[in-house]
Amino acid sequence: MSAGECGAMSTGSFGNAKAGKVPDLSWFRRRQLRALAVVAAVVLVAEGASLVGDFSFGYALGSVPAALAWMLQNFCPTPSSLGQLGIIATQVVSTVFDSIAATMLAALLGIVLAVLGCSSVGVENGIVRGVIRIFANIFRNVPMIAWALLLLLSFKQNEFTGFLALFLATFGQITRFFLDTLDEIPCGPIEALRSCGASFWQIVFQAGLPLAVAELMSWTLYMVETNIREATLVGLLTGTGIGFAFNLYYASFRYDCAGLVILVTIVLVLVVEAISNAARRSMI
């Protein structure tokens, strides 16, 4: 008598019970019809909405080529705009370093809070954990633009306002990312270190962080990338960095220079992404 035989017997009786019935295949047909109905409904809703909103899809589509041509014509950097490259480059560098500094500071503080507040290696005090979670959630749910507008009133237009806005929004978000990452590390190695007599900080540094380091770095790099993009937007408001440069050229009808700013930003974001992807790969 073996487990295998037992299993075979039970499967056999299962098969017999079903043998008399013809399987119902109409399910497949009904599924296809339902998918078709959903597509039809979406098209109908879109048509209806454009009728109500006086939006003509055909007209919009027709105006795309002309708009594209205008954009290419006006935003294409001209030789004269290249003279501004020095100024633009300075602003770009300041924006990049501002975002990196803000992200790193947020990451440093975030990891401390996440270590204390996570469920795997964190402190056993439930109140501390709850407070950290609530804190991170509140900070995270205030959008960066809101921070910038808020800080603008008290800190005026300067580099520090932009830095602070980036920092505060990143802080909440990255703490949350770190908490989730640390919550999910396997509990086995931590139990093993506890059984060896390891203390709280020993477990954090010898098991918690090594198990999570790749993901923690990955989130940090992601936030650096995001913040470089966000920093251009924040700069529009705080009057600093590349956002300010764009706004200045845009407002003074130097569209060719504004286009150059966009081009430089795109190149920059791509370069940063390539660097951080390489860093990620080397860390697996």
Partner 1 sequence: MPQNAQPLLQVSDLTKSYEGKRGAREQHHALSGVDFACGEGELVAVIGPSGAGKSTFLRCINRLIEPTEGSVVFNGRDITHLRRNKLRGVRAQIAMIFQNYNLVYRLTAIQNVLHGRLGYKGAVAGSLGLYSEAEKLRAFELLDEVGLGEFAYRRADQLSGGQKQRVGIARALIQDPRIILCDEPIASLDPKSSRAVMEHLRRVTRQHGITCIVNLHQVDMALEFSDRIVGLRAGAKVFEGAPAELTPQMIAVIYGDGEEGFISVPVSGPQAGATPASVGMASAVPSGALR
> Residues in the site for partner 1, rule: CB under 8 A?
1-3, 10, 188-189, 191-199, 201-202, 204-207, 210-211, 213-214
3 versus 39: smaller Cβ distance to partner 1? 3
How many CB atoms sit inside 10 A of residue 238's CB?
26
Q: Are 189 and 207 in contact (CB under 8 A)?
A: yes
123 versus 262: smaller Cβ distance to partner 1? 123
Which residues lie closer than 8 Å to 258 by C-beta, 6 or more apart? 75, 246, 249, 250
43 versus 192: smaller Cβ distance to partner 1? 192
- Interior CA angle at 263 toward 261 and 267, to 5°? 115
41 versus 213: smaller Cβ distance to partner 1? 213
Please state the separation of Cα 32 from the chain's center in Å: 35
Cα–Cα dist 71/171, whole Å:
37
Q: Are 219 and 158 in contact (CB under 8 A)?
A: no
97 versus 205: smaller Cβ distance to partner 1? 205
Cα–Cα dist 117/129, whole Å:
4
Min. distance of Cβ 180 from partner 1 in angstroms? 18
Min. distance of Cβ 134 from partner 1 in angstroms? 24
Min. distance of Cβ 115 from partner 1 in angstroms? 12
Min. distance of Cβ 232 from partner 1 in angstroms? 36
Min. distance of Cβ 277 from partner 1 in angstroms? 20
